[in-house]
Amino acid sequence: MDRHALFANYINNHPEAIGKVVDFDADHDRLYHFDLTAANKELTAEVFNRPSMFSQLINEKLTNNNCRYGIGGYMEHRTIYAFSSHFDTDDEPRRLHLGVDIWCDAGTPVYTPLDGAVHSFRDNNNIGDYGPTIILQHDLDGLTLYSLYGHLSRTSLEGLSIGMPIFRNQQIATFGDTNENGQWPPHLHFQLMFDMEGRQGDFPGVCKFSEKEIWQKNIPDPGLILRFPDAVNVG
């Protein structure tokens, strides 16, 4: 059985072991689905090159649709990364998003959905990058899984140490603001990996589209952990 199947089986067989990532209440909260591909004609170069305009667009969509959180992004082919040279390569630029983005206000609490320990952490302080980042390591009945939390506040990194135990539903961080999170509208980049490939405090959240199948082998769908209902996209 491959790692994706083992992961899915663990989720199905141990629902009580899965906690929350944010304070989403399925009985009262609505999710807005953000499309950050070229199909979204509102997302012009002017918007995504100016953090204040991008943040305004995000906030208006959430407010106008009565949604507490926005979500989207797993294996989404995005055009917005053109705003930063961080995503450029010598041949094909990186445009395929590997995690899930959860959009909400700066200061929004972030929790770990699984028992585990701190693997590594770092302030990836580049334009377009994660900014403050925490990576946790989990043992799911022998299957190693890593969870990454990016675009955090700088205070989220205070008091952490490698190997520190972390427990399900424990608050580990808060969303960072535009000035500290890589110059993005406030949101959380949540990503899962089976193998860290020797990296510490960082892991690619965007890859070349031509390498999608390669990256999918190591990066399962975070939706299996989030278990959010369908998001709305009505205007």
pLDDT of residue 84: 45
Residue 149: which of 78, 58, 214, 226 has the closest Cα? 226
Which tokens sit at 165? 């135990």
Q: Are 231 and 72 in contact (CB under 8 A)?
A: yes
Residue 147: which of 125, 127, 173, 128 has the closest Cα? 173
Beta carbons within 8 Å of 157's beta carbon, 6+ residues apart: 121, 122, 123, 132, 134
pLDDT of residue 73: 86
Checking DSSP bridges between strand 69-72 and strand 31-33, what pairing results, if any? Answer: parallel
The rounded distance, in Å, linking the Cα atoms of 168 and 137 is 12
**CATH node for 3-226:** 2.70.70.10
**This prediction's pTM:** 0.92
- Write down the domain spans for the chain: 3-226
Half-sphere exposure (CA, 13 Å, Cβ side) for 233?
11
pLDDT of residue 208: 86
**How many C-beta atoms surround the C-beta of residue 197 within 10 A?**
9
Radius of gyration of the chain (CA): 17
Tell me the CA distances in angstroms from 95 to 66, 120, 205, one per residue in order: 30, 25, 10
114 DSSP assignment: S
In 74-205, DSSP assigns E strands to 76-77, 96-97, 100-103, 109-111, 116-124, 131-140, 143-150, 165-166, 171-174, 187-193
Mean pLDDT by 10 residues, the chain (235 residues): 94 96 93 86 78 90 94 83 49 79 97 98 93 98 98 98 98 97 94 98 91 94 92 62
Q: Which residues of 107-119 are buried (b: 16+ CB within 10 A; e: fewer)?
A: ebebbbbbbbebb
